[in-house]
Amino acid sequence: MANEHETSFFAAGDNTALVCVDHQQYQKLVVPQLIDMSYKVHLGLFEEDVLLKLKTYSYNVVIIYENFKGSTAQSNPILAEMVKEPGPQRREHFVVLLSHRFPTNDAMSAFVQSVDQIINVADLANLKPVLRRGVAQYRELYQSFHETMKSVQGVM
């Protein structure tokens, strides 16, 4: 499945998603919904691969399974790496945590976990509308931030 949906290169303006979900059943629910939302999808199945992809591409959406490679939300290496990113770089990604423990759209838990949205695995069948709403709210919230960053980068 890793190569089935993956495109090596993205064109400017593409909606892009990195799916860090090593549980095949969950992948089969997540990836088709993202593709249906017009996202070009990369799968990140190993920590080193995910970290390289995050350095290489700027993804619009990054979906991280809390138990990636047997980890917990507290020990998840991908979440830990996302927290280390500088603020402006981190804000380029809409980060979603797939969780068994936290309810979907639990804003306080999302804040504590340093992610933008939480989706409970029990709600994966409804990922598309939940994600669409979360991304729309995110874009509205950070629109002026992103515009300011672009204008500052243009000056430098």
pLDDT digits (tens, 9 = 90+) for 6-64: 445 677 778 999 999 999 999 999 999 999 999 999 999 899 999 999 888 889 999 99
Using the Cα atoms of residue 95, residue 101, residue 105 and residue 111 in order, give the sign of their dihedral.
negative
Q: For the chain, what is the total number of helices (H) and then of strands (E)?
A: 6, 5
Q: Quick check: 42 and 18 in contact, CB under 8 A?
A: yes
Half-sphere exposure of residue 82: CA atoms within 13 angstroms, side-chain side: 28
Q: Quick check: 44 and 53 in contact, CB under 8 A?
A: yes
Q: How much is the pTM?
A: 0.84
Pick the CATH number of 15-155 from 3.10.20.30, 3.40.50.620, 3.40.50.2300, 3.30.1360.230: 3.40.50.2300
User: Residue 17 is inside which H or E element, if any?
Assistant: strand 15-20
112 or 141: whose pLDDT is higher?
A: 112
User: Residue 153 is inside which H or E element, if any?
Assistant: helix 127-155
